[in-house]
Amino acid sequence: MEEVSNLDQLESIKSLQSTISKLENALSQMTSNGANTTLVEKRLHAVSIGLAMLQNAWNQTTHQYTQEELAEARNVITGLFPSIENSYAKSKTGSPQRTLLERRMKAMERSIQAIDRTLTKEG
């Protein structure tokens, strides 16, 4: 995994925490509206695993995820990129929204690297 400064580590962790919060809010709203929550639950679980893997890589915290859970999380996170990239393309240069999306994409890329490293190490 690439060498990442403490500031970039903090930004990536905060970005994934923000994404998790957003997904939790969406899940809550969808649940109260009686909507199908399967996709949001899957994304929430995947991003939570991504965050745990960054913390594992950078802070040596432990994790209890199986190879299957890690592989599934990697696939789900990878599947989020097209919609984020689409929003990024529509955002204005220098806008707070664009900055947020840049950080989110970087954090997700780093979480995928951390998952890959763990899968390779444990595989």
pLDDT per 10-residue tile (average), the chain, 123 residues = 87 97 97 96 98 95 94 98 96 96 97 95 74
Under 8 Å between Cβ of 119 and 67? yes
How many residues in the chain?
A: 123
Q: Give CA–CA dist 67/53, Å, rounded.
A: 12
Please give the model's pTM, rounded to 2 decimal places: 0.94
pLDDT tens, residue by residue, 85-115: 999 999 999 999 999 999 999 999 999 999 9
Residue 68, pLDDT score: 97
Residue 122, pLDDT score: 73
Using DSSP, how many helices (H) and how many strands (E) does the chain show?
A: 4, 0
Q: Shortest CA distance to 81 belongs to which of 37, 47, 38?
A: 47
Relative orientation angle of helices 38-59 and 96-122, to the nearest 10 degrees: 70
Q: Give CA–CA dist 25/31, Å, rounded.
A: 10
